[in-house]
Structure 1
């Protein structure tokens, strides 16, 4: 085994010290300098560097992790399980949208996998919303690999069960945790509260909280319980819990409660947040406040909260643009869209196209679409094309709507949009072509009940009653259900 040089030892120790002190950019800068100066890099160099990547924002951490991954392979420093697990953890914490499979590829290539590595992979899948894959991976972990599950394994499993509303399986995980004596873990108990709330069993969530967490006063668990009460329509208990911890209010609890608020209570929460100086450090709370005011029709207060937020991301901009569109103020939605720094993103583009569609602002919608592609680098997706087709159809410009549709791929939402446009403008010839395309997609499961509802509506609109009834029979025979509308306004 080659002995490491003294400079390498000192610099590796300095790397670890940077990471422990939270100086993640400094650690990566030091590693870059070591490489440029020809200092030998080994697993002791890369392990803290990968940990620094894990602490960065998703995009930066993923890019830095990939670059260091390539360098580690080139230098042969990626042989140890500890270094591989550190890189796996970085990929897990900085995971992008599918099909970003860096973590799964690395995991499959690891020569040996311990519990920490399995937990990192499970966490990666959970963060990316792949709850079913979490369960499948756990079966691989428990049966062929026979790796012992820890409290963090069980917590990730419970999160996946909550996402899938898999009540029975989650209860089995709870039972396993009780047998293992792991319920005293704050992490696991907090996850149990969230799981039962996700499954609509708020009383059980409250019982778990009272048994394991109330005396400890865990903030995350109380926030999960308040959010569960709100999601399940039990706002009385949510506000009672807020009053109980009035001296320890935090941004997450207030954000959860705002989803259940009418204007009066929302103003009370806003006042409490301002008095405790919470809004200044929480962009998420500011977004929730702005959304609450917009939902109640108070767009001026919503705009003031938006303007005074400590930071505004793409979600903030898209939320206010959407609010202006919902309340018929499309001109202000377009003006706000044009002010977005660094160009628009997909969510803001969808919001402004919807606003223009309902107001008949075809030229403005077209300009926003072109500006998003040129300035923000946004490539329109299926939902953007569908929204633009709807905009053109509402304005009676069926020929242009058809050209957009004809250039699109096999997209259910585009088919539905052009069907509505043809029905509204009495163009059954083109509508029948779109209907045939949508039927082919619906036959393979695309679109679900919404596709058949759109087809039935179109056929009825052009007087083809037998075809309309056939579509309705298809909905019943396939066991499909149309999503019901609902109101979020709470008195």
Structure 2
């Protein structure tokens, strides 16, 4: 046990005592509570030295007001102190996280009194690991470790300071003869802190079997624990647990609590649950006092999968007289980055300025990302250069923007201007820029200087970029050698990059290797099947392609459907390849035929090598004509006459890589209609203008 801490308060004299009493009397007369006991009021009024009970009450009153120095003065002036006097002051200091004061007082108390369970639990609530171990040792010697409050406090202390998954907390828990709700809540909270949601659920089941009723804290902590316990694994088990806890909450009425609803929405969202389920939960809080945290979570749930809904929710929140904070703005900006039009980011930019958050670093970075992703590289640059403070994230955000927009030269020049040390993300952005531009020599040099000049060891992302750089340029053997010499096992991203390169250059043998590796690492990903099937089709090996497709069906692997989105008159329109479900598909196809006739006069020839079936050329052409981005463009042109779209720019988002036929189609269409067409696919932006693309037909 540490030596007793020396008191910072000088020893009181009778004169000190009299002056202090008079000063406190004046204060207490102004602030005295009507609930103050009569005998305490009498002591304050008459200036007589208080007895122990009265002094303890005065210490409590000062402590509750946060006046710890006054509480300590009263304590120091007491001629006689009981165990409660010491415990009250220790508890007051513990609530303000004053470990040294708590420990010093506790050590002094041992010379006068045997500590009680409240003194132990108050001290343990503020202890670090080594102080906590000493207190635990004393509790063992005094047999207080078996007291329920002390044992609960010991568990909480070990969980808060554990570096070994709470082994000591488990030992305390298992040694307890009696456990209450606080015991289980402490253990569940600790398991949640250490991302052991599965064990927390097991403990909850045991608690339920033992007949201990759970409360709001139990449910809230359990639901929250599910978010961090399924990283990298199948989220189905987590969703099932979330549904079970939701059912418990409905049965007990706890699901009506705003905190529980917030946790449920967050868990459903993180675990991949349906966005509609989150919205249904949110709507059930109608008429309740929704706080800013609840609004944040429901907007986060929608930001990626239903970004338009996030903007609607943001407007509704403003209508309820709630003021957005920095975190709310960052979530809504994330939603803007998933939308087509830059006007959404611009409108929110105005809101950020109006709210006084213009100089908040994180929001500046989010604005750069939102503008870049919505196709406005100029606005992204402007935000960067107007920022009063920049960090590595700011620089990396602009570098990534240059990469996806095909501005490799600008990225390399910008890198030379950096006034902060680069990190791994910086080099991923630079290598991606080189990959999109076919700059093999520059990319190789950057990769080699990462460690030599900057001391940054290449990771999987950097190796994936190098495989992509070499593979796109046709250096397949060099790309394969990079994979063989890697100091770590290649992941599915690396094999995907090699397989895509094989698809581009028609390399069947290496493609088979990459495809098999990709299926091993990511068996539910359709890419390993689709790309090798495309390679066979391009080589007119339709039997082999059909065999791959049949195996894909047997394994239950589904190809991600090609989808495109375009905004017209502030409304988002979605198109799927084929377009059979669109209500205006007949009109779209009729207008498509007119456009095709014009494009063919300009030299457009349908590229059907990627069509996956051995059918007549006429039917192959019909299939490529109805790819989702083509349908989106035709639909825009049908509505262009009365569209209030800004300027001469058409923006389309596509969820997968644009095919070579659609690329050629868009390139010629931009010249025909005399408009800039911007297509954002899964990998990058394509800016089509006057019959040319920003990628220089290298993608």
Q: Same fold (TM over 0.5)?
A: yes
Cα deviation for residue 345 of structure 1 reads 2.0
Does the aligned pair in 2 maintain the 1:152–1:187 contact within 8 Å? Answer: no
In the alignment, structure 2 segments of 5+ residues that lack a partner are 1-151, 153-177, 563-574, 607-616, 619-629, 641-649, 651-664, 668-691
List gaps (5 residues or longer) in structure 1. 384-410, 416-436, 463-470
1:33 Cα offset (Å): 4.5
Kindly state the Cα deviation for residue 147 of structure 1 after the two structures are TM-superposed.
Answer: 3.0
Aligned: 1:302 with 2:479: yes
User: Which stretch shifts more, 263-272 or 249-258?
Assistant: 249-258
TM-score, L = length of structure 2: 0.52
The counterpart of 1:154, out of the listed 329, 337, 345, is 329
The residue aligned with 1:9 is 182
Match of 1:318 in 2: 496
Query: What's the offset of the Cα at 1:210?
Result: 4.4
- Which structure shows the higher helix fraction? 1
How far the C-alpha of 1:324 sits from its partner, in A, is 0.9
Structure 2 residue aligned with 1:136: 312
| Cα displacement (A) at 1:108 | 2.0
Q: 2 CA distance for matches of 1:115 and 1:446?
A: 47
Task: Report the CA distance between 1:252 and its aligned residue.
Answer: 2.2
Q: How many matched pairs?
A: 423
Alpha-carbon shift at residue 270 of structure 1 (Å) = 1.8
Q: Deviations over 1:340-385 (max 9, x none)?
A: 216352222221111111122223222222222334x2145666xx
Q: CA deviation at 1:327?
A: 0.9
Q: 2:532 aligns with which of 332, 342, 352?
A: 352
2:473 aligned with 1:293: no
CA distance in structure 1 between the partners assigned to 2:473 and 2:247 by the alignment: 56
Q: How far, CA to CA, are the matches of 2:639 and 2:591 in structure 1? A: 10
Relative to structure 1, the CA distance from residue 445 to residue 348 in structure 2 (aligned partners, 3 Å threshold; closer, same or farther) is farther
Matched, 1:270 2:447: yes
CA distance in 1, matches of 2:268, 2:666: 36
Structure 1 segment 51-450 matched on structure 2, within 5 A: 51-55=224-228, 56-57=230-231, 60-61=234-235, 63-74=237-248, 76=252, 77-95=254-272, 100-110=275-285, 112=288, 113-128=290-305, 130-143=306-319, 145-202=320-377, 204-212=379-387, 214=389, 217-245=390-418, 248-261=421-434, 262-275=439-452, 276-280=455-459, 283-306=460-483, 308=486, 310=488, 314-339=492-517, 340-341=519-520, 343=523, 345-375=525-555, 377-379=556-558, 413=577, 442-443=585-586, 445=588, 449=592
Q: Is the contact made by 1:330 and 1:355 (CA closer than 8 Å) also made in structure 2?
A: yes
* Change in CA separation of 1:80 and 1:448 when aligned onto 2, cut-off 3 Å: farther
2:256 match: secondary structure? coil
| Equivalent position SS for 1:149 | coil
Change (3 A) 1:287 1:105: farther
Residues 379 and 23 of structure 1, relative CA distance in 2, 3 Å threshold = closer
Given that 1:92 and 1:103 are in contact with CA atoms closer than 8 Å, whether structure 2 keeps it comes out as yes
**Partners of 1:334 and 1:88 in 2: how far apart?**
43
Q: Measure the CA separation in 2 of the matches of 1:456 and 1:237.
A: 33
Measured in 2, the distance between the counterparts of 1:209 and 1:110 equals 40
TM-aligned CA distance change 1:268 to 1:29, over 3 Å: farther
TM-score by length of 1: 0.72
Give the equivalent residue in structure 2 for 1:465.
none
Report which of the two has the higher share of strand: 2
Instruction: Name the SS for the 2:356 alignment partner.
Output: coil
C-alpha distance in structure 1 between counterparts of 2:430 and 2:596, whole Å: 35
